[in-house]
Amino acid sequence: MSNRNLVNIMHLDIAPDWKKKLNTELQKPYFQELQKFVENEYQQNECFPKPENIFQAFELSAFKDTKVVIIGQDPYHGYGQAHGLCFSVQPEVKTPPSLVNIFKEMGDDLGKPMPATGNLTHWAKQGVLMLNATLTVRAGQAGSHQKKGWEKFTESVIELLSKEREGLVFLLWGGPAKKKVSKIDTSKHLVLTSGHPSPLAAIRGHWFGNKHFSKTNEYLVSKGREPIDW
C-alpha cells in the first residue's frame, strides 16, 4: 500500500461531511507521520483491516447521521476478522468471545435472539459510529500500532462530535474507553460506561446487566430520534 493509496482511502471512501470535517486534521504533522508508519507497516507486514476498510466506520456513518458512538481498542488481529468497525467481524467469521457477550447482554436487555453472524454493519448504517481507538494492527500482535498517532486522531473525532453535535450517546466499555470521557461534554450528551465485554471482565460482573441497548434507545426517543434496531 502506498502513501497515496492511504490518502485516497481517506478522501474517497468516507462520507462527504466527514471528509470536510477531518480535512484539517489530516494535514497535521502527527497524521503525516502516522501515514508514513502505516504505509511502511502494510508494506513490510501483514496488517488488518484491509487498506480499503481502515476508515469504514466513517464511510457507513456520516457525521450528520451519527447518533451513537461505540469506542473499541484495537482491530481484531486474527486473519479475516477486522473490517473497520469495532467489535464487528466479517459475516463468515466465527463470532469472537467479546461479541458473544455483547449479544448475550443485548438479548437479556431487549429479548432479541443471538444473531446469526457477528457482522455489525447494520448498526453502522443506522448511525452507530463504531470507532476503534487504533484503526490498524499487525497480524497476531495486539497493540502493535498503538501510540503511533491513531489515538490522537480518534480523540479528535470524539471531540469534534462532542462539540458540534448534541444529544449523542457514547458507549464506553472498559478502562481505555472510559478515559475518553474527558473529551466529551456530558452536559450535551449521554455517556454510558461499563466494564469491557471480554470474558474475563464479564465474569467479574462488570458487563452483564448494564442495559446499554435499551438505555440508548430510550434516550434517542426522548430526543425525538429513531431508536437503533440492534
Could you tell me the sign of the dihedral formed by the alpha carbons of 192, 194, 196, 197, in that order? negative
Residue 19 CB burial class (10 angstroms; 0-12, 13-18, ≥19): middle
Residues in Cβ contact with 80 at an 8 Å cutoff, skipping those fewer than 6 apart: 90, 92, 93
What mean pLDDT is predicted for residues 116-134? Answer: 97
DSSP codes of every residue in 91-158? TTSPPPHHHHHHHHHHHHHH-PPPPSS---HHHHTTTEEEEESS--EETTBTTTTTTSSHHHHHHHHH
Question: Whose CA is closest to 211, among 61, 107, 71?
Answer: 107
Radius of gyration of the chain from Cα atoms?
A: 17
Helix 16-26, helix 3-12: angle, nearest 10: 140
Question: Which member of 17, 74, 108, 109 is catalytic?
Answer: 74
Mean pLDDT of the region 1-26: 68
Convert 168-181 to b/e letters by CB count within 10 Å (16 or more is b): bbbbbbbebbbebe
**Pairing verdict, β 169-173 and 68-72:** parallel
pLDDT band with cut points at 50, 70 and 90 for residue 206 = confident
Model pLDDT, residue 9? 40
Instruction: Pick 30 or 12 by higher pLDDT.
Output: 30
User: pLDDT tens across 183-199, in order?
Assistant: 999 999 999 999 999 99
Percent of the chain residues topping a pLDDT of 70: 94
Residues 63-74: what's their mean pLDDT? Answer: 96
Burial of 221 (0-12, 13-18, 19+ CB in 10 A): exposed
Cα–Cα dist 201/204, whole Å: 5
| Nine-digit cell string for 172 | 464506553
Among 20-29, 62-71, 203-212, top mean pLDDT goes to 62-71
Q: Is 65 designated active site?
A: no
